[in-house]
Amino acid sequence: MNCDDSKLICKEKSMNAKMSAGEINTKNRKDAYHFLKIFTPMLIVLAVVLWIFYQRDVTSIRVSTGLDNQQVIQLAKQSIIDEESMLHGDALYLAGHSSLHRWLDTGSNIARSALAHDMLNFVRQREIYDQVRFIDKNGLEIVRINWNKGQPEIVSANKLQNKANRYYVRDSLSLAKGEIYISPFDLNVENKKIEQPIKPMIRLATPVFDHAGHKRGIIILNYLGQHMLDRLRQLRKQNRGELWLLNSDGYWLLGPNTDEEWGFMYPSRKLNRFNLKYENAWKAIQSGGKTSQLIQQNGLFTYSKLNTDKIAKSIVQHNWILVSFLSKEKLNTMLSSTRKNLLVVFMTLGLMLYIISNIASYYALRRKDSETRVRENEVRYRGLLNSAPDAIVTMDQNGLITLVNSQTEKYFGYNRKELIGKPIEVLVPQRFHEAHHHKRENYVTAPYLRPMNVEHELFGLRKDGSEFPAEISLSPLQTDEGLLVTSIIRDITSRKQAELARRMVETRYQELITNLPVGVYRNTPGVNGHFLEVNPAMVTIFEADSIEQLLEHSVSELYCDPDERKKFSDKLMQQGYVKSEEVHLKTLKGHIFFAAITAVMKQSKDEGAYFSGIIEDVTERKISELEIIELNKSLQNRSVELEAINQELESFSYSVSHDLRAPLRAIDGFSQMLVSNYSDQLDDKGKDRLNRVRAGAQRMGMLIDDLIKLSRLSRTEILRESVDMTQIAKNVLEELHDGESQRKVEAIVQPDLVDQADSRFVRVIMDNLLGNAWKFTRQNDNARIEAGAKDGDKGMIYFVRDNGAGFDMEYASKLFGAFQRLHDSSEFPGTGIGLATVQRAINKHGGSIWAESKVGEGTTFYFTLKQGVA
């Protein structure tokens, strides 16, 4: 594993570590799925294979068991046959024995004794006979040998019996020479009781003929059946199943256990019969062949039917049946080990499969993962390709297009299908075709990675025939299918435009710098600093002949005082900038001037620190500033004077109000005294003149009051607040009415007029306007005074309307001048200051006032309380 791989794995691990529980679950499920996908079929195959094995095993066990059983049956049968043929042989042998014939010939006791001894030997030798007897044709026992439980003895003559009436004696005596009587296989009965321990017994008998051919008696052999049964038992031991011997009635002679044997001998065992217990098997045996095998529900039966006549001429048909039985349970027991083995095999192989599956699924998953990754990479790559801002075109070594991305379609106006397989030249303007072709061929022979922007300008040709400037990079890729060249094509139209725009900006900027009337420069810091760059205005400012000339001079030379340059430079270095710093400079020709410098300190890699700034000749401005300072000073003086004048004016008006009234009061007062105290010394004319003096004095008092009001108004600053215009108008009208309650005047005031104004001034305005209206309607019986407002452009236009005397609009211009009156004072008394005061009050608000009137019909005054209204 190389370094990159290990890194990759580390990365994967860390990625795994970062996986959330949900992801882990998904992954586990996926793993399990893959594992099961491999494991399950393998397990099934294994199971099937083992099942087949099992079945084959079962079959082979069955077959082998069957064969075993058959063999056992065969062996048993053979054994029985052998035994019987031996018995036959023995019977015939004894029947033809010389001792017997001697006795038959002589009938002497010696011969009989010899016979008895020979027979005794025989019994002793054979060990299978319980009794061997010779009975004469009269049924009299001549010789009888008893086995006597292993101690054979010759039964003494006095104990010999006559057995003439026994069925077997009778039956045997009727046999021909060589014929053998075989009794049924049963238990020996002594004194009508079954001898215990039981003694299975078969009796064989054969007739005895003398030389002359006369039948002289019978030889009877009592065969100890146990002997045969023991042999069968011996066989049974070797057999995996049961080995039974049945008689023709279905009773067990050799059975599953001794209790069930010999059922026909015991009344209590009558029902212990094979044919009752295994009815179906019995039936099948009865109807089947001589030897066969049956598979029954309860097991495997193998049987063979034995017929004694096969062996010898016999008068009893035994029809024994040898049955070998392998019970299902036994069979299963036999199979169970196979099953156990197979199970172990299954488990072992299953485990192996499990491991193999795990490994396989792990590798499969890994492969799948890597495939997925490859696929994802491909998708990503495609996405990248298509989301790339540039057109990407791949062509083969023949210049045929093999791949394009979406941007290519957009750039060139073709769709993908139109381009694939076409020569790359379809995207190149006609005039470059030849050169392009040539270059391409050269390129293919020696491909190299060509970055963008290394060659002169290139152009792309769109489907519609238009062209666009492009930058093209080429990268070769050797593949199995030959050289692939990927070219990335960038539409640089907008960049070209941007470049153009930038160049224009630069040009404009340069022009601006060149044409600026202020000096623009760059220089190096310090006392020995020199210019790096200056604009033409600098040449003018410093009265140089050329830019080059100016660049030759050190900056300090241009300062009146080189120390000032040092200070300036230090300050700029310290602060990084200066703003409108004023310095004393001199031109190359020695003219001194004031300059304002605004500059910043900059750092450049090539030149180190430098100053960049603008210089302005501010001499004129400086002079103007000085002038302004002078002007301000004089203005200040003036305003002090004005203040004094104002003060004077104030005290003047105070004096007027206070001191001018006193003499008037004196004039009026003393005139009155004259009139009242000295009336007898005055004629009417004198009294009239005195009254005129008084009237004049009083009028002057009013004039003074009004003038003071006017002047006071002029001196007062207005203070805007929310003013209830309606309420003020109503108050004024009420007061007017109170003063002349006998008059009937219809007064209408528009409600809810509220404005921002100085209430004191509004009061003065209303006093005068409504006072005028009141005054000028005095001669009208249906006097009507109306105060209200209407919306103007920027605020309310108030009006006060009356239906009084009115005036000639010709004199409207004189209306608001102080002391101007349009009516006779005898008719409508007044000072002529009221409207002037009103105008002053309105002007103070920035508003205006005007009037409309018609003689005899009335007057309307309009006014506003804001600038620009109306």
- Footprint on this chain of other proteins (rule: CB under 8 A): 654, 657-659, 661-666, 668-673, 694, 697-698, 700-702, 705, 712
- Nearest to other proteins of 454, 673 (CB atom): 673
Tell me how far apart the alpha carbons of residues 624 and 591 are, in angstroms, rounded to a whole number.
19
- Nearest to other proteins of 533, 705 (CB atom): 705
- Nearest to other proteins of 174, 655 (CB atom): 655
- Nearest to other proteins of 698, 727 (CB atom): 698
* Tokens (6 digits) for 121: 């030997």
Q: How far is the CB of 661 from other proteins (least distance, A)?
A: 4
Asked if 251 and 263 count as a contact pair (C-beta separation under 8 A), the reply is yes
List CB contacts of 558: < 8 A, sequence separation 6 or more: 542, 585, 586, 587, 588
Q: How far is the CB of 700 from other proteins (least distance, A)?
A: 8
Q: How far is the CB of 845 from other proteins (least distance, A)?
A: 20
**What is the length of the chain?**
870
Q: How far is the CB of 650 from other proteins (least distance, A)?
A: 10
Q: How far is the CB of 719 from other proteins (least distance, A)?
A: 14
Q: How far is the CB of 683 from other proteins (least distance, A)?
A: 22
Which position has the token pair 């010759």?
154
- Nearest to other proteins of 96, 701 (CB atom): 701
- Nearest to other proteins of 630, 735 (CB atom): 735
Q: How far is the CB of 760 from other proteins (least distance, A)?
A: 10
- Nearest to other proteins of 80, 697 (CB atom): 697
CB-count exposure of residue 641 (10 Å: 0-12, 13-18, 19+): exposed
Asked if 458 and 469 count as a contact pair (C-beta separation under 8 A), the reply is yes
Helix orientation angle between 21-95 and 328-387, rounded to the nearest 10 degrees: 150
Q: How far is the CB of 712 from other proteins (least distance, A)?
A: 8
SS (H, E, C) 8-24: HHHHHHHHHHHCCHHHH
Q: How far is the CB of 639 from other proteins (least distance, A)?
A: 23
Asked if 452 and 471 count as a contact pair (C-beta separation under 8 A), the reply is yes
SS (H, E, C) 86-129: HHHHHHHHHHCCHHHHHHHHHCCHHHHHHHHHHHHHHHHHHCCE
Which position has the token pair 């998953």?
365
- Exposure class string for 552-576: b at 16+ Cβ within 10 A, else e: eebbbebbeeeeebeebbeebeeee
Which position has the token pair 């004072």?
825
- Nearest to other proteins of 579, 715 (CB atom): 715
Q: How far is the CB of 696 from other proteins (least distance, A)?
A: 11
Element (H, E) at 529: none
Q: How far is the CB of 682 from other proteins (least distance, A)?
A: 17
The closest of 219, 191, 215, 176 to 89, measured between CA atoms, is 219
Handedness of CA 492, 494, 499, 500 (dihedral sign): positive
Residue 159 Ramachandran class (φ > 0 left, ψ -120 to 50 alpha, else beta): alpha
List CB contacts of 791: < 8 A, sequence separation 6 or more: 797
Q: How far is the CB of 707 from other proteins (least distance, A)?
A: 13
The angle at the Cα of 271, spanning 270 to 277, to the nearest 5 degrees, equals: 145
Q: Where are the beta strands (DSSP E) in 547-628?
A: 577-586, 592-604, 608-617
Tell me how far apart the alpha carbons of residues 737 and 563 are, in angstroms, rounded to a whole number.
85
- Nearest to other proteins of 382, 692 (CB atom): 692
Q: How far is the CB of 730 from other proteins (least distance, A)?
A: 24
Tell me how far apart the alpha carbons of residues 22 and 1 are, in angstroms, rounded to a whole number.
31
Asked if 840 and 716 count as a contact pair (C-beta separation under 8 A), the reply is no
Q: How far is the CB of 840 from other proteins (least distance, A)?
A: 17
Give the number of other CB atoms < 10 A from CB of residue 462: 14
- Nearest to other proteins of 399, 701 (CB atom): 701
